[in-house]
Amino acid sequence: MTLRAAVLGHPISHSKSPALHRAAYTRLGAGLDYEAIDVTVDGLPAFMAGVRADGRWRGLSVTMPLKGAMAAEVDEVRGVARQLGVINTVAFDAADATGDARARLIGYNTDVAGIVNALRYAGVAPKPSAAILGGGGTAAAAVAALKELDAPAASIFVRDTGRATEARTAAAAVGLELQVLPLAGAATALAAADVVVSTLPPRAADPLADELTRLPGTGAGVLLDVAYDPWPSRIAAAWTAAGGKVVPGLEMLLYQAVEQVRLFTGLGWPVPAEVIDVMCDAVGVPRRVF
């Protein structure tokens, strides 16, 4: 029996997750098929009912706009996802990973580890001054990641300051001082930050990129742009041109996927380096140096 896993979202055709996961499962010989499935928030309950009825499922990667809605579809939430109320990973309880359609579904958030590890790999020092673009589920993970990096506070820039509920909830849960500010005119603050995490959809940061190009002496901090298609984004190009360091969203995607692979396959140990190597190759990012 071929086992199943998938990435869910809307839209989802651009996702690189299938390439990452398929490379890993082929190298591991896991017999696990992984696909991308377009699911809307309204369609999620029916889809999850089908998952529960099909004993072949082993895991789900969850992307926008489903990260908040998925919390109502699982039996238990573990780890930092409990604090955030935002889920990007659903796995079957290891005790029930036998093909039983009644297996319990467990929600996790591996985005936090993805952001932390991507920024550490880029050389971000502890206690950075920090800014976040966007206020949704990935921004909530960025809040928790910045707390783990010992950021003393963060500014978050959103189009509507009254709609940053997930990020505000995350900040209160992890104890990070958060200032919510309008996205318009954010360029000067971004240029002064040690680290900026953009969680905006593709092209949504283009106006900021134009503002950054007009700023004299834009800072040389680190920008993690979660959007990776098209690449380079305009904000990433503007950041690089000003002398800053850019971390592609594929770096975050890689690190969060590594933990998903471990959960979906039931590995009782870290994912081997040779598996991470083939995942890197699959999406064209440099292999890790351990």
Active site (catalytic) residues: 67
The gap between the terminal CA atoms of the chain, to the nearest Å, is 35
DSSP 127: S
How far, in Å, CA of 152 to CA of 25, rounded?
Answer: 39
How far, in Å, CA of 138 to CA of 111, rounded?
Answer: 7
How far, in Å, CA of 290 to CA of 283, rounded?
Answer: 19
Chain CA centroid to CA 70, Å? 15
How far, in Å, CA of 185 to CA of 260, rounded?
Answer: 37
Tokens of 30: 């896991």
Tell me if 114 sits within 8 A of 138, measured CB to CB: no
Residue tagged 């904000």 (tokens): 235
Alpha-carbon distances of 57 from 2, 49, 183, 199, rounded to whole Å: 9, 12, 40, 29
Q: What is the length of the chain?
A: 290
Give the distance between the most distant pair of CA atoms in the chain. 61
* Burial class of residue 131, CB neighbours in 10 A (0-12, 13-18, 19+): buried
